């Protein structure tokens, strides 16, 4: 059904693989009074967990302009000169253990050109990856920087975001539902970079500049 919806909306679905014995992953989201969300997952095992390296369409990956691949797909895309954006999107219930999550996330961390991390209470990705260090300390985040990274962004919910040449304050709004907020943030950044990659050489340092981006 989902694949058909993609086709009906002219989304290229040629890279989709099906497994008749696997579940389609579903996330149930509940909202707190402050607009933040909590998740419960129907998954293990879902089809995406069973994808094999041999099933990857490497020609399709090499033709892509941007990818969020895993392991072998990331390497193939990188070798083809694709700019890789990586959002760890930490969800511990989806991993066998905290250590396997940390190991898996960091295994392709240095491959990415663009990384979006988070210090939100629901995710605490920076604190998690640095084993409990202060995610609001720039020196801590810089430990995660790698020479391959062209841009490392840390979102802080209502407080705004940091790039690693500055900090941008958030706009004051009444949060109703924060589901997808991080995805929308990354989508806005990537859509502009897709038009002009030279923006990576001149990262904005103010909210006004980010609004232009």
pLDDT in tens, 33-76: 887 788 888 888 888 888 888 888 888 777 765 434 466 778 88
Asked, for residue 103, whether it belongs to a domain, the answer is yes
Give the residue from 18, 28, 26, 30 showing the smallest Cα distance to 43. 26
Asked, for residue 13, whether it belongs to a domain, the answer is no
Question: From the DSSP assignment, how many helices (H) and strands (E) are in the chain?
Answer: 8, 8
Asked, for residue 208, whether it belongs to a domain, the answer is yes
pLDDT in tens, 138-158: 888 888 888 888 888 888 877
The pLDDT score that the predictor gives to residue 201 is 66
Say how far apart CA 115 and CA 45 lie, in whole Å.
Answer: 27
The pLDDT score that the predictor gives to residue 120 is 56
* CATH classification of the domain holding 74: 3.40.1190.20
Its pTM stands at 0.51
Say how far apart CA 34 and CA 21 lie, in whole Å.
Answer: 39
Say how far apart CA 16 and CA 24 lie, in whole Å.
Answer: 13
Asked, for residue 83, whether it belongs to a domain, the answer is yes
Asked, for residue 37, whether it belongs to a domain, the answer is no
- What is the DSSP secondary-structure string of 1-65? -HHHHHHHTT---TT----TTSBPPEEEEEE-TTS-EEEEEE-SSBGGGG--GGG--HHHHHH-S
Say how far apart CA 213 and CA 207 lie, in whole Å.
Answer: 10
Q: What are phi and psi of 20, to 5 degrees?
A: -65, -15
Name the domain count of the chain: 1
Average pLDDT across the chain, whole number: 79
- Structural domain containing residue 207: 57-212
Asked, for residue 119, whether it belongs to a domain, the answer is yes
Instruction: Return the DSSP state at 137.
Output: -
């Amino acid at each position: 059904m989902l694949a058909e919806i993609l086709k009906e909306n002219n989304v290229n679905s040629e890279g989709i693989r099906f497994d008749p014995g696997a579940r389609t992953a579903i996330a149930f989201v509940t909202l707190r009074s402050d607009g933040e969300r909590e998740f419960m997952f129907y998954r293990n095992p879902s089809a995406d967990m069973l994808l094999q390296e041999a099933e990857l369409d490497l020609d399709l990956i090499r033709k892509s302009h941007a990818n969020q691949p895993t392991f072998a797909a990331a390497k193939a895309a990188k070798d083809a000169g694709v700019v890789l954006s990586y959002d760890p999107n930490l969800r511990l219930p989806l991993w066998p253990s905290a250590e396997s999550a940390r190991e898996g996330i960091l295994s392709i961390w240095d491959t990415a050109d663009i990384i979006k991390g988070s210090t939100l209470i629901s995710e605490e990705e920076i604190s998690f990856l640095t084993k409990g260090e202060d995610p609001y300390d720039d020196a801590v985040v810089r430990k995660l920087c790698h020479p391959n990274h062209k841009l490392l962004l840390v979102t802080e919910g209502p407080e705004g975001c940091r790039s690693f040449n500055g900090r941008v304050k958030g706009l004051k709004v009444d949060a109703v539902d924060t589901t997808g907020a991080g995805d929308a943030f990354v989508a806005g950044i990537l859509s502009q970079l897709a038009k002009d990659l030279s923006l990576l050489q001149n990262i904005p340092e103010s909210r006004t500049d980010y609004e232009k981006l």
